[in-house]
Amino acid sequence: MKIDEIDAYVTVIRCESLQQAALSLGLTQPAITRRLQNFEEALGVELLDRNTRPLKATATGRVVYEQCRVIQRELDVLREIVATDTPPVGTLRVGVAQTIADIALGEALRVVKAAYPELQARASTGWGGQLLQRLEDGELDAAAILLPANKTFGDALSARSLGRIKLAVVARKGLLRKRVHTLAQCQSTGWVLNPDGCGFRDGLQRALTGLGLALKLNLETLGTELQLQLVADGHGLGLVPMPLLVGSAYADKLDVVTISDFKPLIDMWLVHPRVLGKLQQPVERFGAAIERQFKEARTQRAA
């Protein structure tokens, strides 16, 4: 068996499609099919259930897939051992939570480009859980995501905290007259939140569930600025990162609401495979730029 056959098999399982796997590897579909057939013949087993759509591994194929991922990681280690001091080239694929992107993505990409002009950085945004899954599936080289401080990661991943973000509960100015409220007292007002999958919303949902309360969702919307506009228009309470609130065009139309039984905080994480080869330094520089941008945002807010 050959390494390119292993790569082809892993990509097919990840993409669940011969056509998408071929596009991912820059090959024709017949070439992918030949590599799969050669791989199955070398092992003497059938790895794919070709009667399912999307394409799935057999029970044995799933075990083989996991072992192939181990082999790929060990090959990465080997390549790192013999790597020269030449600068990284090619593509750096990073996933970034939308909140982080709003504050720091542009500067982080500029920092990487200045340090590694021959390296093309490609960024995509999404919820933390989605980006983490893409990282585990090999679709990303690194991700800057928002997850709880007690989050645990798989053995194949390395993660470090880039800092903690304080979230603010906001309401239209003058809507709630008391200084301090409880979550139960906010029930009648309801919430304007990001769609399901957002870490902020998940944290609120957990807090409400712990109190035996249901989430009253008035509106569901993407984007912090639109959420703040809707809250300023009186459609409900919002839950947003403090740095984005400070810089919002709607900040003077909103009150920050103190909730006695809800103190929302979330951590920024830089996550990547334990072995990145020549991409290790660009990823670390990318993470450091994000960390620096948020520190500057906190300093400006304090001033």
Cβ-based neighbours of 66, under 8 Å, separated by 6 or more: none
Supply the CATH number for residue 183's domain.
3.40.190.290
In a shared domain, residues 157 and 274:
yes
Mean pLDDT by 10 residues, the chain (303 residues): 91 91 90 93 91 89 91 77 69 92 92 93 89 88 88 85 91 87 93 87 90 95 91 95 88 94 90 85 94 80 53
- Burial group, residue 227, by CB count within 10 angstroms (0-12, 13-18, 19+): buried
Closest by CA position to 39, among listed 3, 75, 72, 67? 3
Whole-model pTM over 0.85: no
Domain assignment of residue 188, given as a range: 165-265
In a shared domain, residues 271 and 156:
yes
Cβ-based neighbours of 268, under 8 Å, separated by 6 or more: 97, 100, 144, 145, 146, 161, 162, 163, 164, 165, 290, 291, 294
In a shared domain, residues 144 and 110:
yes
The helix/strand/coil state of 250 is coil
Indicate the number of domains in the chain. 3
In a shared domain, residues 260 and 175:
yes
Integer Cα distance of 157 and 145 in angstroms? 14
Supply the CATH number for residue 35's domain.
1.10.10.10
The whole-number pLDDT of residue 302 equals 52
Which one-letter amino acid corresponds to residue 146?
L
The helix/strand/coil state of 273 is strand
The whole-number pLDDT of residue 301 equals 56
Q: Which helix (H) or strand (E) holds 238?
A: strand 238-241
Q: Which helix (H) or strand (E) holds 192?
A: strand 191-193
- Burial group, residue 118, by CB count within 10 angstroms (0-12, 13-18, 19+): exposed
In a shared domain, residues 239 and 182:
yes
Phi, psi of 34 (to 5 degrees): -65, -40
In a shared domain, residues 128 and 141:
yes
Q: Where are the beta strands (DSSP E) in 53-173?
A: 56-57, 90-97, 119-126, 142-147, 157-172
For residues 45 and 18, is the Cβ–Cβ distance under 8 A? Answer: no
Query: In this structure, what is the dihedral angle of CA atoms 65, 26, 95, 283, given to the nearest 10 degrees?
Result: 90
The whole-number pLDDT of residue 180 equals 83
Of 82, 115, 130, which residue is a domain's last?
82
- Report the 10 Å Cβ neighbour count for 53: 9
In a shared domain, residues 277 and 139:
yes
Cβ-based neighbours of 64, under 8 Å, separated by 6 or more: 9, 43, 45, 47, 57
In a shared domain, residues 109 and 248:
no
Integer Cα distance of 261 and 165 in angstroms? 18
Supply the CATH number for residue 112's domain.
3.40.190.10
In a shared domain, residues 296 and 172:
no
β-strand 217-220 against 191-193: which pairing, if any? parallel
Token output for 221: 């919307």
In a shared domain, residues 97 and 117:
yes
In a shared domain, residues 103 and 142:
yes
